[in-house]
Chains A and B, each alone.
Chain A
Amino acid sequence: MNFWIELLVSVLLVFGGLFVLVGSIGLVRLKDFYMRLHAPTKATTLGLGGILLASMVSISYQQGYMSIHELLITLFLLITAPVTAHILAKVAMHHRLKQIERTSNAHYVDRAREQRPPKDAE
Chain B
Amino acid sequence: MSKDAAFRWFPMPLHSLLMLVIWLMLNGSLSLGHVLLGSLLAMVIPWLCAPLQMPQPGHFKPFRAIRYILMVLVDVVIANVQVAILVLGPEKRLKPAFVAVPLDISGALPITVLASTVTMTPGTVSADVSEDRKWLYVHVLNLEGTEEELVEQIKSRYEQGVREIFAC
Contact = CB atoms under 8 A, between A and B. Distances in A.
B129 A35 contact: no
Contacts of A39: 83, 87
Given A85-B125, A115-B131, A35 B84 contact: no
B34 to A, nearest CB: 14
Interface string A4-25: 0000000000000011001001
A68 B25 contact: yes
B76 interface: yes
A117 B130 CA distance: 5
A100 B143 CA distance: 14
Interface in B71-103: 76-77, 80, 83-84, 87-88, 91, 94-100
B80 A69 contact: no
Contacts of B84: 18-19, 22, 43
Contacts of B80: 19, 42-43, 46
B130 A81 contact: no
A116 B134 CA distance: 10
Contacts of B45: none
Contacts, number: 138
A41 B143 contact: no
A37 B131 contact: no
Contacts of B123: 38
Given A22-B87, A69-B25, A86 B127 contact: yes
B4 interface: no
Interface stretch (B7-15, B112-120, B152-160): B112-120
A46 B128 CA distance: 23
Interface in B30-53: none
A58 interface: no
A31 B96 CA distance: 11
Contact of A116 (B88, B120, B131): B131
